[in-house]
Amino acid sequence: MQDQPIVVIGATGKTGSRVATRLEARGHAVRRGSRNSATPFDWEAPETWAPALSGARAAYVTYFPDLAFPGAVEKLESLVETAKDVGVAHLVVLSGRGEHHARLGEEIVRNSGVDFTIVRAAWFAQNFSEGYLRDPILAGVLPMPGGDIAEPIIDIEDIADVAVAALTEEGHRGELYEVTGPRLMTFADMAGDLSEATGRPIRYLPISFEDFHAHVAQSGGDFVADVFTAIARETLDGRNAHTTDGVMRALGRPPRDFADFARGAARAGAWASAA
């Protein structure tokens, strides 16, 4: 069983790349699933799914850009059936916190007959350092809708650690880990931590959802902007304004704090071009 590979779907993405690297560092056989990998996987090409999954003992499943995207839940359902047909024994699925379509995807996985672990994540801290909010941070602003809504933003490193534990250790099958950071933060709070970490003033700029869409489209295109704006409209209403114990339950330690993320990203040069 240990000789069978673990498939990482979305191996070039924020969480998938980290999961694959961690698994390889621990000596596990990894099959990286992406359009250009040795064994390609493409959500838009179902004929690639079975070859990518065949012979694997487990799979980490992410959908780009998000399960909220139209058609994503239906594709996930088909993928789960493919995984079941080719004998994948365990699926670890990344889901989104407070998202209706993500919950539908979770139910498909729960009812599939395949062993599963669901990792339901809060908003990613790395969106500030690697995603659509990096350029505004470089410009000294944090433009987000939601006003004073608080979010327990999570470091993706924690998501990767939870996923790797679920893929490689006993005791995680059938679990739902809703993972958040350790504290509730407004976007103004986040701007304050980013200012301290970078040594430059970063100002929170409250914006409309329409302006948010325009900002995301500049860096990620309309495809990504449509999805993330829909998620923002749905989730930045207070429904997620509480922390959870998912990281502690999965790993036996508390989640990383946003301030620690910001300092680490600054040291690594995430915002170095602002100098």
DSSP string, 17-54: HHHHHHHHHTT--EEEESTTSSS---TT-GGGHHHHHT
pLDDT digits (tens, 9 = 90+) for 185-201: 999 999 999 999 999 99
User: What type of residue is 55?
Assistant: G
Q: What is the mean pLDDT of the chain?
A: 95
DSSP letter at 137 equals H
Question: Please, are residues 145 and 207 in contact by the beta-carbon 8 Å criterion?
Answer: yes
DSSP letter at 272 equals G
Q: Residue 274 — very low, low, confident or very high, per pLDDT cuts 50/70/90?
A: very low
DSSP string, 57-107: SEEEE--SS-TTSTTHHHHHHHHHHHHHHHT--EEEEEEETT-HHHHHHHH
For the chain, the domains span 6-125+155-180+242-256
pTM: 0.95
For 90-117, what is the mean pLDDT?
A: 96
Question: Given this structure, which CATH class describes domain 6-125+155-180+242-256?
Answer: alpha beta
Q: Is the pLDDT of residue 1 over 70?
A: no
Q: Residue 2 — very low, low, confident or very high, per pLDDT cuts 50/70/90?
A: low
Q: Is the pLDDT of residue 224 over 90?
A: no
Question: Please, are residues 171 and 111 in contact by the beta-carbon 8 Å criterion?
Answer: no
Q: Is the pLDDT of residue 65 over 90?
A: no
Question: Please, are residues 120 and 177 in contact by the beta-carbon 8 Å criterion?
Answer: yes
For 14-23, what is the mean pLDDT?
A: 97
Positive or negative torsion for Cα 204, 124, 70, 176: negative
